[in-house]
Amino acid sequence: MKSALPPLKRFGQNFLIDKNIIAKIIKAAAVSDKDNVLEVGPGHGALTFEVAKKARRVLAVEIDRGLCADLGAAAAGYENISIFCCDILKFDLKAVLRKNRIRSVKVVANVPYYITTPIIEYFFKNIPRLDDIFIMVQKEVAERMTAPSGSKSYGSLSCFVNYFSRPQALFKIRGTCFYPAPKIDSCFVRLKPYADPGSFHGVKSEPLLFEIIRAAFGQRRKRLFGSLSKLFKKEELYCIDCAAMLQRRPEELALADFVRLSNVVFDFYGAG
């Protein structure tokens, strides 16, 4: 779809223009006529209209009112495309799906990079309504999502993403595939969500788990005993049955280690 509207920096707009990459995305996401697809930031619709040829339905959420008008006009001949002009972070997915009698959706999107983390958080809050998540992110962000413990890229984002999903980097995308071309490369990733992350990982308190992870990586050069002493009293930490773990640095602990630590802390302090 052609449009005279220029990319807007405030919305982090870099439009995908490479037809080969678009075809590769649709193939990787295995889009079929059984899928109801949620797209975030459709832009000029380069991906939107190709997905619509394969999918049962496309729900495209765009914050740019000018692009919404253009997309709405171009989609007039497509009965299976719905354009929603709003901020994805304020989009009531549950209500929209209920109104349209859709049980769940598959996410296929080139998300705005400047709010990648908030958008991922939005997706994970809507896990019961998501079949699968396929998104394009900065290459460095993909590396952090998939980084194993002990690696340089491993951090709180790694733990967060791995708690809610099974992340997989599918393929890299050069900046020249976009307009305007960003100075960085991108990566198309799959975040296969767990239906019930808490049960899958055996977590007793999800808020406590993430409080510990944030505190630990907030001072990643310190051993856990030092970084967690801001959350708990030192004399109490001495009593926790994880002494060896508390002497390690956060990047040395896998997600399963943080789960075990948070469960021990939860038992020590009690549910209250």
Q: Residue 55 pLDDT more than 50?
A: yes
pLDDT in tens, 172-194: 999 888 877 777 899 999 999 99
Tokens of 209: 């788990």
Whole-number Å distance between alpha carbons of 71 and 44: 7
Which percentage of the chain shows pLDDT scores above 90? 69
Residue listed under structure tokens 């997706």 = 123
- What is the rounded CA–CA span in Å between residue 117 and residue 137? 10
The string of pLDDT tens digits covering residues 204-260 is 999 999 999 999 999 888 999 999 988 888 877 887 878 888 899 999 999 999 999
pLDDT tens by residue, 10-25: 445 577 889 999 999 9
Average the pLDDT over 75-102 and give the result: 95
Length of the chain: 272
DSSP-derived secondary structure letter, 255: H
Rounded to 5 degrees, φ, ψ at 252 are -85, -10
Check whether 115 has a pLDDT greater than 70.
Answer: yes
Going from N- to C-terminal start, the domains of the chain cover 9-195, 200-269
**What fold characterizes domain 200-269?**
Helicase, Ruva Protein; domain 3 (1.10.8)
Confidence of residue 272 (pLDDT cuts 50, 70, 90): very low
Specify the pTM. 0.90
**pLDDT over 80 (residue 9):** no
**pLDDT tens digits, residue range 102-113?**
999 999 998 888
pLDDT for 10 equals 45
Query: How deeply is 32 buried, as exposed, middle or buried, from its count of CB atoms within 10 A (0-12, 13-18, 19+)?
Result: exposed
Say how far apart CA 137 and CA 142 lie, in whole Å.
6
Architecture of domain 9-195 in this structure: 3-Layer(aba) Sandwich (3.40)
268 has pLDDT over 80: yes
